[in-house]
Amino acid sequence: MNDDPTRRLYLDALMEGPEPPETSLRPLVLTAARARRRPAATTTGWTAPFAGRIAAMDAVLGEVTGQDWERRVVEGWTLQELLAHLAAKDGLVSLSVGAPVLGPPVTVNEGLARTAELQEYERRRAPDQTRRDWRAQADALCRHLASVAPDTPSETGGFTLPVVDHLLARVLETWIHTADAAGMLGVPLPHPVPDHIEVTADLCARLMPLAMRVSGHRVPEGRAVRLALTGPGGGLWHVPLHLGGRAVRGDGPAETAITCDVVEFCFLVGGRGDPDGFAAEVEGDAGLARELLHAAPALSGP
C-alpha cells in the first residue's frame, strides 16, 4: 500500500466506522493501515468522536516537515502554537474530570489564559515534544472517560455542562483546527464518519439559544427555527431560540425553516464561515433566519 497522506486520512475515517461484514475487503486494508500509524485511543461509544479527531490531527501532523512547524496557521499562531492551544483546551476538560493534565500547572481555568500559558511553555520545547504530550494527554482523557457517565457535570472555562457536551465541543474545535492545519499543508482532509458528524451537529443546534443571547438577541418564548441539515450525519432539529430553549431532533412549529449542509453549518458555528454568504435555503421569517446565522459563530473561539 502506498503512503499517500490522503489515502491514510481516509483510512483513519474508515477506522472510526462500524465493523465491516465478513465478506468485505476492508479488514485487510485496515490491518495494513493500523500497522503504519498510531490508532485512536481505546474509547467508549460517546468518546469515539473525540478520539477520531485526535487520530486525524495526528495523521496530518505526520506529514509535517521541520520548517512547517514555524508556518503561521491561524490567529497568527505557528503550527506548534496551534497544537499548544488544542492541548490547553483539552487539558481544561481533563482537569474538570480528574484526568492527567500535562505541562505546567493550570493557574486559570479559562481557555485563552491557559492557551497563552501553555504556548509560552511549548515555545521552549521541540515541536515533537509538543505533539507527543498533546496526544498523550488526549489519549489519557479518553481512557479516563471510559469509566465516567456522559451526563457527569463538568465545569470548564466558566461553563458547567455534561462532560459529553464539553467533549463534543473539543470534537468540533479539533476538527476545525485539523482542517486549518491540513489546508496550510495542502493535505485533503476527509470528513468524520456520519455518526460523529451527527452528534457534533446536535451540539451545534443545542447551542443556538445561547448563541442568540450572547449575540444580543432577546428572543421571546415561542419563536423557533426548523433546522434541516443535509448530507451524511445530518438530520432535522426543532430549535426554540429563547434562552433556556431546548433544541431537539425532530419537527415542530417554527416561524422559519433553514436548510443547509451539515458540515458547513458545523463550521459556521465553529467560526469558519461567512454568515452573509452562507448557502442556505430559507422559508418563512427571513429576518429570524438571518439573526440565527449571524449569531451561530458567537460562541466560537480562536
CB 110 within 8 A of CB 158: yes
pLDDT in tens, the chain (302 residues): 344 444 444 445 444 544 433 433 333 333 333 434 455 555 568 999 999 999 999 999 998 988 999 999 999 999 999 999 999 999 999 999 999 999 999 999 999 999 999 999 999 999 999 999 999 999 999 999 999 999 999 999 888 999 999 999 999 999 999 999 999 999 889 999 999 999 999 999 999 999 999 999 888 888 999 999 999 999 999 999 998 899 999 999 999 999 999 999 999 999 999 999 999 999 999 999 999 999 999 999 88
Tell me: do 54 and 140 sit in the same domain: yes
pLDDT at site 243: 86
Q: Could you tell me if residue 13 is inside a domain?
A: no
Tell me: do 85 and 154 sit in the same domain: yes
The CATH number of residue 183's host domain is 1.20.120.450
Bridge-based pairing state of the strands 256-261 and 224-230: parallel
Q: Could you tell me if residue 5 is inside a domain?
A: no
Tell me: do 234 and 173 sit in the same domain: no
Q: Could you tell me if residue 23 is inside a domain?
A: no
Tell me: do 145 and 182 sit in the same domain: yes
Tell me: do 180 and 225 sit in the same domain: no
Q: Could you tell me if residue 28 is inside a domain?
A: no
pLDDT at site 40: 52
Q: What are the Cα distances from residue 284, in Å, to 69, 205, 212, 279?
A: 48, 19, 19, 16
Bridge-based pairing state of the strands 153-156 and 159-162: antiparallel
Q: Could you tell me if residue 195 is inside a domain?
A: no
Q: Where are the alpha helices (DSSP H) in 17-126?
A: 26-36, 48-61, 79-97, 111-122
C-alpha cell read off for 254: 417554527
Report how many domains make up the chain: 2
Tell me: do 222 and 166 sit in the same domain: no
Tell me: do 216 and 112 sit in the same domain: no
The CATH number of residue 263's host domain is 3.30.1050.10
- Which residue's C-alpha cell is 521552549? 124
Q: Could you tell me if residue 193 is inside a domain?
A: no
pLDDT at site 22: 40
Domain boundary among 166, 187, 208: 187
Q: Could you tell me if residue 26 is inside a domain?
A: no
DSSP3 helix / strand / coil % (the chain, rounded to 5): 55, 15, 35
Q: Could you tell me if residue 8 is inside a domain?
A: no
Tell me: do 91 and 135 sit in the same domain: yes
pLDDT at site 221: 86
Determine the structural domain holding residue 161 and report its residue range.
38-187
pLDDT at site 16: 52
Tell me: do 183 and 51 sit in the same domain: yes
Domain boundary among 145, 166, 187: 187
Report pLDDT digits (tens) over 244-277: 899 999 999 999 999 999 999 999 999 999 999 9
* Cα–Cα distance for residue pair 213/31, rounded to 1 Å: 48
- Which residue's C-alpha cell is 472555562? 157
Tell me: do 283 and 158 sit in the same domain: no
Cβ neighbours around 248 below 10 Å, total: 15
Domain boundary among 129, 156, 187: 187
| pTM (two decimals) | 0.88
Tell me: do 53 and 166 sit in the same domain: yes
Tell me: do 228 and 276 sit in the same domain: yes
Phi, psi of 246 (to 5 degrees): -115, 110
